[in-house]
Amino acid sequence: MNYDELRKQTNKGWNTWYSPSMTSHVLLPYGFCIGLSFKNYVDSGVIGDLKVGNHGLRPGSRSWDGSYTSLTFNAGKTDITVESAAKGGNQYILVTPSGRSIRDPALIIEASLLWGKEGNLFCREGRIGAEFGDGCSVNIYTTGKRDSYVYTKAKCPYIPVTLNEAVAVSTVPASVSEVRAILDDAKAVVISEEAAYGRNAGAYQAMRSCLAWDTIYEPEHDRICSPVSREWSESSGGYVLFDWDTYFASLMSQFGGRELAYLNAFAITNEMTEDGFVPNFGTSDDNKSRDRSQPPVGSMVALRLWEQFGDDWFVKELFPALYRWNTWFKEHRTLPDGTMCWGSEKFEPKNGRYFEVNDIGNLQGAKYESGLDNSPMYDDASFDTEKQVMLLSDVGLTGLYIMDCRCLIKLAQIAGREDAVPVLRERLESAESAMETLWNEETGIYENRDAVTGKFSHRISPTNLYSLYSSRVSDEHKKSMSEKYLCNPDELGGEFMLPSISRSDPAYPDQNYWRGRIWAPMNYLVYEALCEAGMKAERKLLAESSRKVLLKEWEEHGHVHENYSGYDGQGCDKPNSNNFYHWGGLLGYIAIKEEASKD
């Protein structure tokens, strides 16, 4: 097996593959789409291209593979539930209205071919559908009664029906009751899968729903992958894959099976630049951040997937790129004292994305590389325009590099690359030695250090706890960091953990992005560090708080947020917290992993 074979084998079947709309159901590899839009006569609007938050859309339980999906939204005074099931190569959809408006809405059923796929669309004998060159064809049937509405935005064969009762849409003739029975069977499977996680059933439901809805077909590279959200993909010209975000999508995807997990790991790794690093982001038309990378978490994710599935071929194919990336960080982001720092290379962009045009080779570019775009930790940092680095010894990056080296040593042995092991061990020892120079005895924690003045920076973030990835952290130092910071409600502790900057920091009240908000990837990386350090009580505390943060927004609104308030765990309180961003599901992943732990 290799990635190309995996990609070809998985580009098939019915699912919600089309990024712009959660009410479109697509058959791969044909690109045939059953699109659903809705005419709302209350305000004369046509509702299409639905995403979470549009018209109160709330996702429900669903499977990873599209065998069952559900969502609810409103059209005027009518609530509409859309459920689907894929079974035996056929698609079954039930659209159910609830409540009445002055005039019943219309359901517009469209048949289209996406992404330039070949085929012939037709509209005949009351049916719409498509025929393909290999002799296959798809017909769309509906139980709905024809509506008089003709002013649709459709540019393809369509059928408008009145939505005054449940309407079945299917690829074989089927009544409403028959479709309902198929849906009930499929839904029962999904609900039982959630229930298997016991007290974490809701956390699993939220994590799966968000990541599965965010999984799409990406035609430029003919692949299935999981961008951070449909909204971000659309605003980026088709798709966008961020570095650590997508590796974390790969990690969570293991619950859906090795195929999706591997697809995501390869998708982001294959965005690697010519200079040998996985970029901050990669989007359509080969546009990517060629000046900067992001936190090197790929090796840890790859190792976790190998521990789960045991596929050596996966490690062998991925290892060369991950090793090259580790080498790039060593050569480009190491200060003379051996500590690590963030940076941004000089680069002339080919085309004009906002980030690329305005923040290349400067301090803000280095902040973007950290992944913590506006963290107070970097407010007063200097930037070396010759070496293109932030002049700040960073505990977080040094800790992540230690973790990267340790994981790569194991991956090298699996991949049969014993030649890389001595090199990686030397890098690991060097980084662990450098980390010890960042311990501040006065404050009792490893701190960032200004590379110009030599002074410690007492702006504390969860990234300071990444120091726990080092094997040299003493029990005394672990106790100090736990009592003074991690479990201290005036610092990083409290009911809702972990704020992205200490609660005692003057920037904490900002609650704007990385200035005090709770971020799932920070929680996860601290959790892994606590596991590495053997700090059982602390990791259980963090797992409980993570579950609480996730379920608050999920149960109230059906949202999985990009970030959450450090005060009360809300996500909707800030407009720059995307409400369906898959790495929020890491909060559930932490809870599930902790529940499954043996100690």
Q: pLDDT digit string (tens) for 276-320?
A: 999 999 999 888 999 999 999 999 999 999 999 999 999 999 999
The pLDDT of residue 354 is: 61
Q: What is the largest CA-CA distance in the chain?
A: 82
Order of strands, sheet of 392-393, starting from the edge strand that comes earlier in the sequence:
392-393, 448-450, 456-457
Please give the radius of gyration of the chain, using alpha carbons only, rounded to the nearest integer: 25
pTM over 0.75: yes
Q: Give domain limits for the chain.
A: 17-172, 198-596
The pLDDT of residue 153 is: 81
Report d(CA 353, CA 360) in Å as an integer: 11
Nearest Cα neighbor of 505 from 376, 340, 334 is: 376
Amino acid at 212: A
pLDDT in tens, 551-596: 999 999 999 999 999 999 999 999 999 999 999 999 999 999 999 9
Cβ atoms of residues 474 and 467 within 8 Å:
no
Q: In sequence order, which residues have a C-beta less than 8 Å from that of residue 369 and are 6 or more positions away?
A: 280, 292, 293, 294, 342, 343, 344
Nearest Cα neighbor of 333 from 425, 434, 408, 243 is: 434
DSSP-based helix, strand, coil % in the chain, nearest 5: 40, 20, 40
Cβ atoms of residues 507 and 556 within 8 Å:
no
Phi, then psi, of 316 in degrees rounded to 5: -60, -35
- Its CATH architecture, for the domain 198-596, is Alpha/alpha barrel (1.50)
Q: In sequence order, which residues have a C-beta less than 8 Å from that of residue 70 and are 6 or more positions away?
A: 59, 60, 61, 62, 81, 82, 83, 84, 187
Cα distance between the two ends of the chain:
36
Query: Residue 498, preceding bond cis, omega within 30 degrees?
Result: yes
The pLDDT of residue 236 is: 87
pLDDT in tens, 229-281: 999 898 888 899 999 999 999 999 999 999 999 999 999 999 999 999 999 99
SS (H, E, C) 437-454: CCEECCCCEECEEECCCC
pLDDT (tens, 9 = 90+) of the chain, 599 residues, equals 999 999 999 999 999 999 999 999 999 999 999 999 998 877 767 888 888 988 899 999 999 999 999 999 998 888 999 999 999 999 999 999 998 777 888 999 999 999 999 999 999 888 899 999 999 999 999 999 998 877 888 889 999 999 999 999 999 999 999 999 999 999 999 999 999 999 999 999 999 999 999 999 999 999 999 999 999 898 888 899 999 999 999 999 999 999 999 999 999 999 999 999 999 999 998 889 999 999 999 999 999 999 999 999 999 999 999 999 999 999 999 999 999 999 999 987 766 666 666 789 999 999 999 999 999 999 999 999 999 999 999 999 999 999 999 999 999 999 999 999 999 999 999 999 999 999 999 999 999 999 999 999 999 999 999 999 999 999 999 999 999 999 999 999 999 999 999 999 999 999 999 999 999 999 999 999 999 999 999 999 999 999 999 999 999 999 999 999 999 999 999 999 999 999 999 999 999 999 998 77
